[in-house]
Amino acid sequence: MKVVVDAMGGDHAPQVIVSGAIEAINEFDVNIVLIGIEEQIRQELNKYKFAQERVEIIHAPTVVGMHEPAIISIRKKKDSSISAGINLIKESGYDAFISAGNTGAVVAASTINLGMLSGVERPAIGVVIPTLKGFSFLIDVGANTEPKPQHLYQSALMAQVYMKEVLGVENPTVGLLNIGEEAGRGSGFMKEAHKMIGERISNFAGNVDASGVFKGEFDCIICDGVMGNITIKISTGLMESASALMRREIRKSPLAMLGAGIMKSRLNHIKKLVDYSEYGGAPLLGVNGIVMVSHGRSSTKAIKNAIKATIGEVEHNILSFMAETFSKN
């Protein structure tokens, strides 16, 4: 299996990308293709000992900035690590592409270069979120900021396939993220989506009130890209602010510092449970190829785990299950 990794994507590229890739080849049965500015990649690789034959470097001379407007960057930088990387999985038989770079650019390049799966009109990004009961799959977290109701229906189908085939959850339930549990809540768009998903999806369990997302009562949680993006950003931002506040308060009292010291291993365990980097990547679904986006702030561990999740998608043949599902719906 050959996974293409965008060596230039993310706030700490190419360092953490290369270190994550090295950890991945040491732990998993995978070959890695690093795409980006060759000299910079070689310089990073020189820091490590690894099985040389399992790492390939492909030079891509330009880099898409983290905040460049996606469409413009795609049109003007056809030789970027993102565009060229996506083309590798389209034309050269590589299995998957991962980038912690500009998400909008990855979505645009994937949509334009790979095209959509038959039956899917728009791409959507899913994330595995930790819950009190284990995990749920939240989709879309930002690929499509103005979906139509049928795009949410298609996301629901894709989420069920992903949850079942890649994450091993039988008969996954589907909930629609909303501002209340009762049918008829939310905007006109949300009411229409509720109706369409309810009519066409097996195991639809109705609206998920936003306050219940982390209780884990729904396997797949469907929403538009703005709501999903707000959901993950509010929750990561809140956890960071709450941790900062906790550290500030604890430092005010020696006794509290002692207590925190004693609790440390448990607190770290909790941190791990709520840590998004444990999954590492967010699958871009709906496009005709296996593409994973990672957070720009991804750590070495997050990159390694994104590669692990990608291997899972390739091994479980996610694309053919998606195609099969949409051919029947």
Q: How far is Cα 231 from Cα 208, in angstroms, rounded to an integer? A: 13
Task: Measure CA 10 to chain center.
Answer: 14
Among 241, 320, 327, 329, binds a second copy (CB under 8 A): 241
Select from 9, 101, 126, 142 the one that contacts a second copy (CB under 8 A): 142
| Binds a second copy by CB under 8 A, chosen from 61, 115, 134, 259 | 259
Q: Does residue 146 touch a second copy according to CB under 8 A? A: yes
Map the footprint of a second copy across residues 163-222, applying CB under 8 A.
177, 179-180, 182, 184, 186-188, 190, 209-215
Residues 114-133 that bind a second copy (CB under 8 A): 131-132
| Residue 83 to residue 105: CA distance in whole angstroms | 8
Q: Which two tokens stand for residue 80?
A: 């970027």
Interacting residues with a second copy between 269 and 308 (CB under 8 A): 269-270, 273-274
Residue 205's nearest CA partner among 191, 192, 219 is: 219
Q: By the 8 A CB rule, do 144 and 115 touch?
A: no
The amino acid at residue 214 is F
Residue 246 φ then ψ, to 5°: -65, -45
Compute the least distance from the CB of residue 143 to a second copy, in Å: 11
Query: DSSP string of 31-71?
Result: EEEEEE-HHHHHHHHTT----GGGEEEEE--B---TTS-HH
Q: Compute the least distance from the CB of residue 293 to a second copy, in Å.
A: 14
- Helices and strands (DSSP H and E) totals, the chain: 11, 11
Asked if 145 touches a second copy (CB under 8 A), the answer is yes
Based on the shown chain and the rule CB under 8 A, indicate whether residue 252 belongs to the binding site for a second copy.
yes
**What is the contact surface with a second copy in residues (CB under 8 A)?**
67, 69, 131-132, 142, 145-146, 177, 179-180, 182, 184, 186-188, 190, 209-215, 225-227, 229-231, 233-242, 244-246, 249-250, 252-253, 255-256, 258-267, 269-270, 273-274
